[in-house]
Chain A
Amino acid sequence: MSGESNEIRFSQKAKDRLAWYLTRYPTRQAALLPALRLAQEEFGHLTHPVMDYVAGQLELPPVTVYEAATFYTMYHKKPVGEHCVYVCTNVTCFLKGADQLLEYLSGKLGIRPGQATADGKITLFSVECLGNCDKAPTVQIDDDYHDCVTTESADRLLEKLR
């Protein structure tokens, strides 16, 4: 583990960003959520060595970092594909056919929610309310929301990721 963690280092840009975050809070721990987001952007997902590195940067016990990282759904503890596709299946999206949409995407990609395609391109997720209920069903791809998604528009969205 120590051999691996030696190779884990924030880019200069991430270091500058973290330094800025640290100016915004009276405690170093308060910068943990932003720091974990940075780490995920830099390293793809949060391995134990990555979380240990974040702990070192914030002078926190590693367990404090594990505890936060495992509590929140947006931190990936396992490797994810190049793109993440999140299908909202909560109440309004459910009323608008989100279950069928998720099943369609699952079949088309040949994976279950939580899995990545064999080529490592796409990971599919079923998620709780995205707060975009007037445009249900909503699909989030990476950072972007897509409104009123149908099987046809989902096909087009996936095409762009290939």
Chain B
Amino acid sequence: MPELILTKDLDVPDYHRLAGYRSRGGYGALKKALDEMTPATVGAEVKKASLRGRGGAGFPAGTKWGFIPAQTEKPKYLCVNADEGEPGTFKDKVIMERAPHMLIEGIILSCWAVGIHHAYIYIRGEFVKARKILQAAVDECYAEGILGPKVMGKEFCLDVTVHAGAGAYICGEETGLIESLEGKPGKPRIKPPFPALVGLFGCSTVVNNVETLAFVPHIIERGADWFLKIGSERNPGTRLFGVSGCVVKPGVFELPMGTTLREIIYTHAGGLPEGRTLKGVIPGGVSAPILTPDEIDTKADFDSLAAKKSMAGSGGLIVIDDSVCMVRLLARIARFFAHESCGQCTPCREGTDWAFKVVSRIERGEGQPGDVDKLASIATSFAGITICVLADAAAGPILSFVQKYREEFDLHVTEKRCPLENKAPSRPGP
């Protein structure tokens, strides 16, 4: 069995509480850092570990911290991205509900390394249960002197505030998140300036994903060299893969980065139900371009999936079987992006809606000759020219579906109907 890092102790009774977490050595890494290390050596260790951001972009956390100026007149902030809204993603919730103190320990270590005295955990509004558990854990830390004016009795003050979103996918984008935290609509900002220089409340800000921060205590406790031995080249460590859709055993699986999609789907998620065959897999949340069955021997890490013109994204695999109409599925995905476009950039606001309308009419059997090419050309026209990457994320599925399942789209137009007899998803209900 591969080594588990984040999920090893999830079944320990009361692990979500301070006593349970401490019973397995919790807050030991923080104690070690405060007693034996300096903020700079903590930062250096995380940088050496090449811990890549588990939120989607895979940017190395240590490098990101390095962009924060050491001396600033204004305060510095950490924003924890707990907005987990990428369709097909449900792994940060596991950490927040079952190991909230691991996240908090990671937050404290990160803040100490960067010289931050206030961290905001931006959690999506729908996660009420996770928010309550997280708030209870934060409260325990204040009561025990792990947070507050003297962290573990040292001359370091740190506040952590749990802040709930209110329903908007775009707030998972780091500058949309910052705008939202400031009490505004979550419309992403033009970069540069990057949050490291001008972020929350106009101050230097680090934005890190929940899972990324949860790795920090382990790296500090066991060292970067240990971490670097796990996973694949330039993609060290494990990752929480969420597998959903047409598989026998959907769930969250912690596996080394670089595990192949095939192994994740067939060995860990139980494969497809009997009688069904694989038609495609979306490897990193719905924004990731789809891969066909002959591409599933690809390693599920940032670089290998990028080489396949897809992305590792949020680590959420959506498995699709042969009963699913790809045109209908794409219409559903297109509807999502049209709904979630924040509306500030015209190409995205108008383009995502237009693409949704065209794919919908193809799906209904009302497509005109040339519509399939038109759909691809709309996607090409709005990608890469907007403030944030939502438009690019919307274009990826359109272009990859049309390219890889072209025949199915064409048949909808020429035959004015779905070529699959069973148009409905294979198994209503679980």
User: In this complex, which of A67, A72, A143 has the most chain B Cβ atoms within 10 angstroms of its Cβ?
Assistant: A72
Partner of A94 from B90, B316, B332 at Cβ < 8 Å: B332
For B90, what are the chain A residues with a Cβ–Cβ distance below 8 Å? 131-134
A73-127 residues at the B interface, CB under 8 angstroms? 73-75, 89-92, 94-97, 99-101
Q: Main secondary structure on chain B at its contact with chain A?
A: loop
For A26, what are the chain B residues with a Cβ–Cβ distance below 8 Å? 75, 201
A71 to B165, CA, bound (A): 11
Residues 392-430 of chain B: 1 if any A CB is under 8 Å from the residue's CB, otherwise 0?
000000000000000000000000000000001111111
Partner of A72 from B86, B89, B127, B168 at Cβ < 8 Å: B168
B199 interface hit (Cβ, 8 Å): no
Shortest B158–chain A CB gap in Å is 13
Please tell me if the beta carbons of B124 and A131 are within 8 angstroms of each other in the complex.
yes
Q: How many interface contacts (CB-CB < 8 Å) are there between A and B?
A: 165
For B246, what are the chain A residues with a Cβ–Cβ distance below 8 Å? 95
A137 to B181, CA, bound (A): 30
A19 to B240, CA, bound (A): 38
A6 interface hit (Cβ, 8 Å): no
- On chain B, the number of residues with a Cβ less than 8 Å from chain A's Cβ atoms is 60
B87-102 residues at the A interface, CB under 8 angstroms? 87-90, 93
A91 to B316, CA, bound (A): 12
A133 to B88, CA, bound (A): 6
* A36-B166, A134-B242 known, 13 other contacts, Cβ within 8 Å: A30-B181, A33-B164, A60-B183, A72-B125, A89-B332, A91-B332, A96-B245, A97-B428, A129-B86, A129-B336, A130-B126, A132-B90, A135-B250
Task: List 6 tightest A-B contacts by C-beta distance, closest first.
Answer: A97-B428, A32-B183, A73-B167, A72-B166, A71-B185, A133-B244
Interface residues of A (CB under 8 A from B): 24-27, 29-34, 36-37, 60, 64, 67-68, 71-75, 89-92, 94-97, 99-101, 128-137, 140, 143-145, 148-151
